[in-house]
């Protein structure tokens, strides 16, 4: 009986040591997954999470005028048969993305088996714009010259500017945030975290003023 009791005690000690070792190994593994997690998320680089296609008709109309002054009064007169009109169909693609190049361990907070990831602010960019030259409609009077390539480029720029101003009327920002979370959560689950313990959010002082998130200067053709 004495030997049996001693054996039981030794087995209990061995089991306790094994449990403590497993617990220590599990804790170490959880700590070690953070750098690995950062590395995998950084590999996303620029993650595009939402896309909108805009179709717009750009219109322009002008006519020649004569300016004169009579009795110190300025006057202007339209020249007959000098009117020009044009309607230009244009398609543009706008995308929302998240740039993970500066993502770091500062973006990750752990509470036991729970993990919270704060994503960088979404950004919005027009990635392409194209004029459908075959469907351009124009009416040019005999006394006027045709629209030049420079004028067409100018009208295209006006169209892009108008589309950018219309972006806040869409839900692209909310879609970008939701889709970003849907892309990141499976990656975190593969590292052993339960989905119910994963929280994806954005910084607390994140501004929903979409105009601050739009890149109004760059067009990345071919994206």
Q: Is the pLDDT of residue 23 over 50?
A: no
Output the six-digit token pair for 9: 């005690």
Does 205 map to a domain? Answer: yes
Does 126 map to a domain? Answer: yes
Q: Is the pLDDT of residue 18 over 80?
A: no
Most confident residue range from 8-12, 28-32, 176-180: 176-180
CB atoms within 10 A of CB 115: 21
User: Residues 217, 221, 222, CA angle at the centre, nearest 5°?
Assistant: 150
In whole angstroms, what separates CA 132 from the centre of its chain?
Answer: 26
pLDDT of residue 9: 35
Contact 173, 96 (CB under 8 A): yes
The range of the structural domain enclosing residue 39 comes to 30-60+90-136+144-219
The Cα diameter of the chain in Å comes to: 130
Radius of gyration (C-alpha) of the chain in whole angstroms: 31
Does 78 map to a domain? Answer: no
pLDDT of residue 75: 58
Does 69 map to a domain? Answer: no
Tally of domains within the chain? 1
- Coil vs helix vs strand at 88: strand
User: Which pTM was predicted?
Assistant: 0.69
Q: How many residues does the chain have?
A: 223
Using CA atoms, how far apart are residues 24 and 16, in angstroms rounded to an integer? 12
Q: Is the pLDDT of residue 123 over 70?
A: yes
Confidence of residue 210 (pLDDT cuts 50, 70, 90): confident
Does 193 map to a domain? Answer: yes
Give the end-to-end CA distance of the chain in Å, rounded to a whole number: 78
Does 149 map to a domain? Answer: yes
Lowest mean pLDDT: which of 29-43, 100-114, 116-130, 154-168?
A: 29-43
Average pLDDT, the chain: 77
**Among candidates 79, 76, 80, which has minimal Cα distance to 67?**
76
Does 19 map to a domain? Answer: no
Does 20 map to a domain? Answer: no
Most confident residue range from 7-16, 33-42, 69-78: 33-42
Tens digits of residue pLDDT in 76-116: 656 667 789 999 999 999 999 998 888 888 888 988 889 99
């Amino acid at each position: 009986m004495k030997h049996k009791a001693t054996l039981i005690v030794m087995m209990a000690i061995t089991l306790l040591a094994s449990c403590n070792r497993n617990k220590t190994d599990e804790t170490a593994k959880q700590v070690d997954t953070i750098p690995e997690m950062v590395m995998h998320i950084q590999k996303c680089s620029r993650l595009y999470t939402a896309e909108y296609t805009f179709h717009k008709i750009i219109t322009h109309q002008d006519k020649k005028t004569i300016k004169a002054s009579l009795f110190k009064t300025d006057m202007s007169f339209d020249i007959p048969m000098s009117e020009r009109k044009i309607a230009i169909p244009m398609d543009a693609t706008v995308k929302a993305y998240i740039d993970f190049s500066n993502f770091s361990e500062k973006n990750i907070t752990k509470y036991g088996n729970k993990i919270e990831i704060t994503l960088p602010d979404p950004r919005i960019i027009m990635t392409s714009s194209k004029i459908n030259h075959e469907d351009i409609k124009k009416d040019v009077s005999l006394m006027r010259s045709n629209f030049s390539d420079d004028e067409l480029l100018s009208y295209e720029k006006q169209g892009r500017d108008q589309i950018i101003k219309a972006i806040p009327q869409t839900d692209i920002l909310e879609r970008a945030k939701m889709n970003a979370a849907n892309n990141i959560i499976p990656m975190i689950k593969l590292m052993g975290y339960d989905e119910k313990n994963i929280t994806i959010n954005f910084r607390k002082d994140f501004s929903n003023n979409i105009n601050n998130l739009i890149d109004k200067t760059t067009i990345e053709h071919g994206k």
